[in-house]
Amino acid sequence: MKKRIGIVGSGTAGLQLAYALKDDFEVIMVCHRTPEQLRSGRIMSTQVHFGPTRAREERFHMPKWESNSLIESIHITVGDQKLFAGMLEKTGLSVDQRLAYSRYAEDLERAGVSFQQRKVEKEDIEELRDEFDLVIDCTGKNGPLVPFPIEKELTPFQNPQRKSIVGYFKGVKPISPLGVNVTVIPELGEMFEIPSETEYGPVTILFITAVPEGPLDMFKGIKTPEAFTIKMREAVEMFFPHIHERIVDLEFALCDENGFLQIAITPEVRIPYLNKNGRLYLGCGDSVILNDPITGQGSNLSSYCAEKLSDLLIEHKHADNWDEEMGRLYWERIKPFVKEVTEWTNAMIQPLPGHIVQMLLSAAEDQQKADKIARWFENPSTAHEAFLTKV
Ligand SMILES: Cc1cc2nc3c(=O)[nH]c(=O)nc-3n(C[C@H](O)[C@H](O)[C@H](O)COP(=O)(O)OP(=O)(O)OC[C@H]3O[C@@H](n4cnc5c(N)ncnc54)[C@H](O)[C@@H]3O)c2cc1C
């Protein structure tokens, strides 16, 4: 008989796990939102999936996207100086999670995966565990439901280091070559301009990561789409003139009334397994590895961890019992990469080190160096090496 796995949360981690595990196990997804609620709800992220994540989606036969918004490059501007556009090795893609998650959930249901619609509370988790051979907590940044222990070595901050301010806009002429346009304003924060696909067609995401209480942290108290749009135009005009000149006045608007978001994340890494009362719980995705969005790695890392976890569970599918050893093996497999991504992300939150500024400046004169920097985002181990290896 197939083992029963309950996955709580149908986001990047939970959905990829379901695709990867569904043929070897009985998979039950538990999520508090229906596909329709997801589709019509608030945006959740900016979600650039780089080449390795897209390759995993292909490996697990997840539905493909037709898109004219493929991300080929990373543009870097520091202050008001445009430095370069580096080319990625493989194209990336950002699909609004509202659209992606609802489509995947419907597709999985058609493929025989069961869905239970309910919000699981922390106190319900043990009861839920009774129904399954394993529960995987994929509840994202609102989680975890299971008290996985904090990994102190990788959790240096007690407070958010950036305010994330995101709007999905129509009416911004795309940059060429199409890609993520990163502007760093030393001491104030950053802007990420990202082409993306939505239910409403292609949009340009304007994503500000503001140092709290600084001049870019200017969206406090803004609650309506109208006020958000006015404030974003003001911020772009004031701090990002190279984007402002591509705004088409009469077309500049959010793609829908839920196309904006403000959130501040306190980064936190947890050891993603727990043996409670002799029973194993695992965590995957933001519920256990929550980094600041500044390096755009959260979905990519969730997908990486989900792949390692599904491979491990399938390798051990005939074991009599899954115990703490399984959790330990899972953590051992993902920890080196989790550490690299987390340390790089935490370094990006700090003022850029002198040797990185030198690297960026010299890449302005050398396309190969520019391409190498762009590829930090698709292969963050190389970014970690550049930032943290002592020279
Ligand atoms: C502003 C912003 C920008 C970002 N940009 C990028 C980017 O460019 N690239 C990138 O790779 N990553 C980015 N990220 C991070 C990325 O969005 C997350 O890392 C990724 O979505 C994590 O996937 P997940 O499956 O762990 O969680 P989620 O995608 O958040 O999914 C969690 C799921 O759990 C469900 N759930 C939660 N609580 C419960 C409960 N109690 N009971 C039942 N169900 C529950 C939710 O409904 C949801 O379905 C960004 C994040 C933010 C906030």
- Which residues' Cβ are closer than 6 Å to ligand 1? 8-14, 30-33, 45-48, 119-120, 138-143, 145, 164, 166, 263, 285-287, 293, 296-300, 302
Predicted confidence (pLDDT) at residue 391 exceeds the cutoff of 60 = no
Q: What is the CATH number of the domain that holds 304?
A: 3.50.50.60
Where do we find the tokens 């980064």?
Answer: 267
CB-CB contact of 360 with 372 (8 Å): no
C-alpha triplet 199, 200, 201: angle, nearest 5°: 95
pLDDT at 274: 98
Tell me what percent of the residues of the chain surpass a pLDDT of 90.
97
Residues 198 and 79 reside in one and the same domain = yes
Ligand 1 centre and the CA of 186: distance in Å? 28
Residues 148 and 255 reside in one and the same domain = no
d(CA 6, CA 27): 6
Ligand 1 centre and the CA of 148: distance in Å? 18
pLDDT tens digits, one per residue of 282-333: 999 999 999 999 999 999 999 999 999 999 999 999 998 899 999 999 999 9
Structure confidence at residue 90 as a pLDDT band (50, 70, 90)? very high
Predicted confidence (pLDDT) at residue 80 exceeds the cutoff of 60 = yes
CA 140 to ligand 1: nearest atom? 27
Which of 7, 28, 45 is the best mutation target for the ligand 1 pocket, counting ligand atoms within 8 Å of the beta carbon and taking the most? 45
Q: Is residue 358 part of a domain?
A: yes
CB-CB contact of 52 with 301 (8 Å): no
d(CA 168, CA 255): 6
Q: Is residue 55 part of a domain?
A: no
Residues 36 and 104 reside in one and the same domain = yes
Token digits for 88?
A: 């990625």
How many C-beta neighbours within 10 Å does residue 112 have? 10
User: Which among 332, 285, 337 is positioned nearest to 146, based on CA atoms?
Assistant: 285
pLDDT tens digits, one per residue of 208-251: 999 999 999 999 999 999 999 999 999 999 999 999 999 999 99
Residues 12 and 25 reside in one and the same domain = yes
CA 101 to ligand 1: nearest atom? 49
Ligand 1 centre and the CA of 390: distance in Å? 33
Q: Is residue 224 part of a domain?
A: yes
Ligand 1 centre and the CA of 11: distance in Å? 6
Residues 128 and 177 reside in one and the same domain = no
Residues 199 and 336 reside in one and the same domain = no
Nearest CA to ligand 1 atom 46: 9
Ligand 1 centre and the CA of 44: distance in Å? 7
Residue 314's identity, in one-letter code, is I
Range of the domain at 201: 67-95+163-263+352-380
Ligand 1 centre and the CA of 72: distance in Å? 24
Residues 243 and 111 reside in one and the same domain = no
Nearest CA to ligand 1 atom 29: 11
CB-CB contact of 166 with 260 (8 Å): yes
Q: Is residue 125 part of a domain?
A: yes
Ligand 1 centre and the CA of 361: distance in Å? 34
Q: Is residue 183 part of a domain?
A: yes
Q: What is the DSSP string of 58-105?
A: HHTTPPP---S--EEEEEEEETTEEEEEEEEEEEEEEB-HHHHHHHHH
Where do we find the tokens 């292609």?
Answer: 202
Q: What is the CATH number of the domain that holds 218?
A: 3.30.9.40
Residues 287 and 339 reside in one and the same domain = yes
Q: Is residue 218 part of a domain?
A: yes
Residues 87 and 113 reside in one and the same domain = no
pLDDT at 389: 79
What pairs with residue 209 in β-bridges?
A: 164, 190
What is the number of domains present in the chain?
A: 2
pLDDT tens digits, one per residue of 107-140: 999 999 999 999 999 999 999 999 999 999 999 9
Residues 41 and 73 reside in one and the same domain = no
Token digits for 319?
A: 């074991």
Handedness of CA 11, 163, 208, 75 (dihedral sign): negative
Residues 341 and 375 reside in one and the same domain = no
Q: What is the DSSP string of 214-273?
A: STT---TT--SHHHHHHHHHHHHHHH-HHHHTTB-GGG-EESSTT-EEEE----EEB-SE
Q: Is residue 61 part of a domain?
A: no
Residues 87 and 190 reside in one and the same domain = yes
Q: Is residue 386 part of a domain?
A: no
Token digits for 307?
A: 């792949």
Structure confidence at residue 390 as a pLDDT band (50, 70, 90)? low
pLDDT at 157: 97
